[in-house]
Amino acid sequence: MQEWVIDDNNLSPERKSLLPGKGFFLPDDIRAESKDREIEARVSGSEVLAVVDPDADGLACVALLRDALGEAAFIPSSPHELADGIKRAAEYAEPGGEVYICDLAPDEFETIAEPLEALLDHADSVTWYDHHQWTEAAEDAVRDAGVELVVGDSEAECTADVAARSLEGEAAEHLDELAAVTRDHDLWIKEDDRSDDLADLSHWKDPADYLEVVENHGVDFPDDVREFLAEKRVEKEDRIERAVARAELHEIRDWTVGVTYGRCSQNEVAEELREQGADAAVVVKPAGSASIRGSDGFERAHEVARQVGGGGHPRAAGCKPRIYEDMLDYANHWTTRGAPAKQMLMKAFWNLPEEPAEME
């Protein structure tokens, strides 16, 4: 296949919003091999290692660790790759070092049991900071394994808050402010305009470049960074508008659920759908994952996600339905704009028990 076929620069804005990015088309083994080389080069020799979700919250934890401990190399790991992230930590961490896991939660302990055991045998200590919704069984199993686990209130704290209050010593003033603005974004409080800057920069910049900015400047970005954000937001707003225009509202039991498809910023799309009357919003992505966002009228997003192999918070969750067996399935996904995934997620809303899981 010629590279121009998957090059974003050759796509119209509409087609670009309907298809996944170039990285999606790289085989997993090639992507994993490249990632392994990059991680090994970055973490080699570090006595402090962090496995983090490379979003604004997870990377803020790295900045706080570096401020408190003097160093912290990091391994990026999405929630779907948590076991791989822990495995890489066991492989590349210095023997007898400190390892932190931040802003990640296991759907089931069994999926991480083996790599976590290897990591605990290799490291001197493993500490875990998070604020997602954990099952009691997963919490107990992680603690029983020998991990120091601190889980904050998902409605009041982001993981950067948990790290800031758990680490010894006072953080630098600009990093305290970084944690506060990160919370404003991560909990969807939206009272500080700068939280959108953090979210966008962490999404568009390489994690190492993002860390360099926030470690030096906190949330007060220099002019060149602001110019970069302004340029990228033109395309971002275009994709938001396209996703909102594709959305449909469905009445499911007592809720209005907005459902759409596209390569877009799910939080802003969800906000637009809430303004149209949606209690919950589902954004299915071209790469096959989906984001579920709630509201005051719907705080069970994590319960929906868990039915299809995901998890998260009451108002913000994610998943990747297990319905993609080959490229024909993905071709159908793209040409139908996510119809199979939408159907599975709508069924998950219908299948919710009468009472929220926390009340059972």
Q: Is 357 a residue whose pLDDT tops 70?
A: no
What type of residue is 49? L
98 beta partners: 48, 125
Instruction: Read off the pLDDT of each residue in 19-23 and give the average, rounded to a whole number.
Output: 89
Each domain of the chain, given as residue ranges in start order, spans 45-221, 242-359
Average pLDDT, the chain: 93
CA angle 290, 292, 295 (to 5 degrees): 165
342/239 Cα distance (integer angstroms): 19
Instruction: Read off the pLDDT of each residue in 222-240 and give the average, rounded to a whole number.
Output: 95
pLDDT tens, position by position, 165-203:
999 988 999 999 999 999 999 998 989 999 999 999 999
DSSP code per residue over 153-182: -TTT--HHHHHHHHSSSPPPHHHHHHHHHH
pLDDT tens, position by position, 246-261:
999 999 999 999 999 9
Residue 359 confidence (pLDDT): 38
Instruction: Read off the pLDDT of each residue in 206-234 and give the average, rounded to a whole number.
Output: 96
pLDDT > 90 in the chain, percent? 80
Instruction: Read off the pLDDT of each residue in 121-132 and give the average, rounded to a whole number.
Output: 97
Q: How far is CA 291 from the centre of its chain?
A: 10
CATH number of 242-359: 3.10.310.30
Cβ neighbours of residue 310 closer than 8 Å, sequence gap 6 or more = 79, 107, 290, 317, 318, 319, 320
How many other C-beta atoms can be found within 10 angstroms of the C-beta atom of residue 34?
11
pLDDT tens, position by position, 304-346:
999 998 988 899 999 999 999 999 999 999 999 999 999 999 9
Instruction: Read off the pLDDT of each residue in 16-44 and give the average, rounded to a whole number.
Output: 87
Residue 34 confidence (pLDDT): 85
User: What token pair was written down for 141?
Assistant: 């199993």
Burial of 222 (0-12, 13-18, 19+ CB in 10 A): exposed
125 beta partners: 98
User: What token pair was written down for 269?
Assistant: 């799309």
Q: Is 114 a residue whose pLDDT tops 90?
A: yes
331/188 Cα distance (integer angstroms): 33
Q: Tell me the pLDDT band of 149, cut-offs 50, 70 and 90.
A: very high
User: What token pair was written down for 103?
Assistant: 């802003």
What CATH number matches the domain at 45-221, 3.30.160, 3.90.1640, 3.30.70, 1.10.10? 3.90.1640
Nearest to 306 by CA among 251, 236, 357, 268: 357
User: What token pair was written down for 245?
Assistant: 């225009």
Residue 358 confidence (pLDDT): 54
Q: Is 360 a residue whose pLDDT tops 70?
A: no
How many other C-beta atoms can be found within 10 angstroms of the C-beta atom of residue 225?
17
239/262 Cα distance (integer angstroms): 8
